[in-house]
Homo-oligomer: A and B are copies of this chain.
Amino acid sequence: MIEYKRLDETKAFPKLAALPIPRVDRILTAERIAACDIPSGGGLTYNWAASPVDEKILAALGELAEEQGLVDKYKLLADGEIMNTGEGRMVLHHLARGRLGKAVVREERDLRAFYEGERERAAEFARSVHAGKIVGSTGQAFATAVQIGIGGSDLGPRALYLALERWAMAEGRLMMGARFISNVDPDDGAHTLANLDLETSLFILVSKSGVTQETLANECLVRDALEAAGLDPAKHMVAVTSETSPLAGNPGYLESFYIDDFIGGRYSSSSAVGGVVLSLAFGPEAFEEFLSGAHEADKLALEKDISHNAALLDAMIGLYERNVLKMGQTAVLPYSEALSRFPAHLQQLDMESNGKRVDRAGTELGYSTGPVVFGEPGTNGQHSFYQLLHQGTDATPLQFIGFLEGQTGRDIEVEGSTSRQKLNANLAAQIVAFARGKEDSNKNKAFPGGRPSTLIRGGRLEPRSLGALLAHFENKVMFQGFAWNVNSFDQEGVQLGKLLAKKVLAGSQGDPALAAYARMLGLEASE
């Protein structure tokens, strides 16, 4: 029987917290760097040598993971246990990439077959678009895919598209460009539309519920523009939605692709939410490679031994930094311009999943949960916020990401080194600079050091490694949620704002403060 208990109810946590804290700079050696290296799927490797974790801490983290049954809970989740307890839902994004355990059957439907069937339908659709068999209302072939969605229907797919756009161009695998419209600010959609050739644009409307306010408003903006251009919107738009939504099988769309309630928005890039746009952009094979990389990482995360489970270890190191070292943030620092929006996606993934203050049973927690996550690509960040990371008053754990090769194959040698060598030399240098610090009699030039980091590295950023990279972080966040005993799969924190916004739009604010702000922002207020 697997128990659900809070972190402060475990025996292992107080033991962990009582151990001496190792100084990163004292333990960092070449031997340790070689030893602290674990495969994390898709050809990636996770290196935790620059973490404040010695043998005793590692053992205590393993004990805590064991006591909280983290891997067992992951197995239950994969087998279809109701892990999103508040909403009474299974959590099945892993199943979109492959089976990890039992078949998950609901109302006589095998859900792996369902997800795989939708993937195949999207693949067939993409092939027909690429072959010019499905064309726009004037008979022109489609050249651009435009995703309309917000939150999980936007950040993940957008980050993944940008991550692979250069790779696809270099490999001759860019089938269609992709664009994204998300914000209800009409200047977002208007600007994107102004820069599109509507006649060759295929819009993908993504809303699980079919009632997302922002997405429906942007759909109308797009339909208006299509009509104004003399085009038939029904021939330029597909829907990605649930089978019960008003968008399902609606003749207003060329085609509908389905998702269900068991894949949450921020985890939905592996489903049709990511699959349709990525299959259109890069071809269905690329999307399959992406899923296979993610599935590799998912399988590695089943390993019970923490020292061979990268996602589990990353989760527990993060927990140690959060709950014992009391660090409030985590920075994600990819040394890859292609990953420019990957930190924004992880920000959603992590903060929306574990930004919780009650446990699964609804009891308020007496300890910190999910940190603030932020980041920008290196070396750019080095010329920006790294100053605070090096010499600020609080330490922030850093998650570096790097690759041996570039995506475009283009490079240049200047002053004896290529740009790639400069990029990676900077990455190596930063890890060591944060860990070691530097003494200086001028205290303004001194670096305290002891600032922890981890490194995920790969050969090249391509669909398989990208899939594994995404799954690594999804699984890390899941394990942390289990350890904190929170529900990482709901988002009740978004409801109150929605409710009050509706009141404002209805002119019935109730609260005079709400009415005052509404008036100040140009809205009619009834009271």
Contacts and interface: CB of A to CB of B under 8 A. Distances in A.
B186 A419 contact: yes
Contact of A511 (B328, B347, B387, B432): B432
Contact of A384 (B351, B427, B518): B351
Interface in A385-414: 385-394, 396, 402, 404-408, 410-412, 414
A410 B217 CA distance: 13
B419 A217 contact: yes
B422 A505 contact: yes
B352 A372 contact: no
Given A169-B194, A186-B406, A388-B351, A492 B424 contact: no
A32 to B, nearest CB: 8
Contacts of A436: 511, 513
A443 B363 contact: yes
Interface in A474-527: 487, 490-505, 511-518, 520-523
Interface string A413-442: 011111111111111111111011110001
With most chain B CB atoms within 10 A of its CB, the pick from A185, A188, A385, A402 is: A185
A30 B514 CA distance: 8
Copies of this protein in the complex: 2
A34 B516 contact: yes
With most chain B CB atoms within 10 A of its CB, the pick from A369, A444, A495 is: A444
A47 B520 CA distance: 10
Contacts of A499: 429
A293 interface: no
Interface stretch (A115-123, A146-154, A282-290): A146-154
A96 interface: no
A428 B384 contact: no
B495 A351 contact: no
A411 B498 CA distance: 21
Given A386-B493, A387-B491, A503 B429 contact: yes
B425 A30 contact: no
A191 interface: yes
Nearest to A194: B169
A266 to B, nearest CB: 8
Nearest to A188: B337
A516 B387 contact: no
A267 B221 CA distance: 38
With most chain B CB atoms within 10 A of its CB, the pick from A28, A404, A431, A497 is: A497
Given A391-B356, A494-B382, A512-B30, A372 B372 contact: yes
A190 interface: yes
A513 B443 CA distance: 25
A200 interface: no
Contacts of A154: 380, 383
Contacts of A389: 355, 493
A86 interface: yes
Contacts of A497: 382, 386, 390, 426, 429-430, 433
Given A445-B495, A448-B357, A516-B34, A383 B265 contact: yes
A485 B410 CA distance: 47
A214 B372 contact: no
B372 A406 contact: no
A336 B444 CA distance: 38
Contacts of A337: 183, 185, 187-188, 191
Contacts of A185: 335-337, 377, 379, 406, 419-420, 423
A273 B426 CA distance: 25
A4 interface: no
9 closest pairs, A vs B, by CB? Answer: A355-B388, A151-B383, A429-B500, A348-B384, A355-B392, A390-B493, A391-B493, A428-B517, A425-B504
Given A213-B422, A217-B414, 18 more contacts: A30-B516, A49-B513, A155-B380, A186-B410, A216-B414, A329-B372, A355-B388, A358-B443, A367-B393, A372-B396, A386-B494, A390-B494, A428-B514, A429-B503, A432-B511, A432-B513, A436-B513, A455-B517
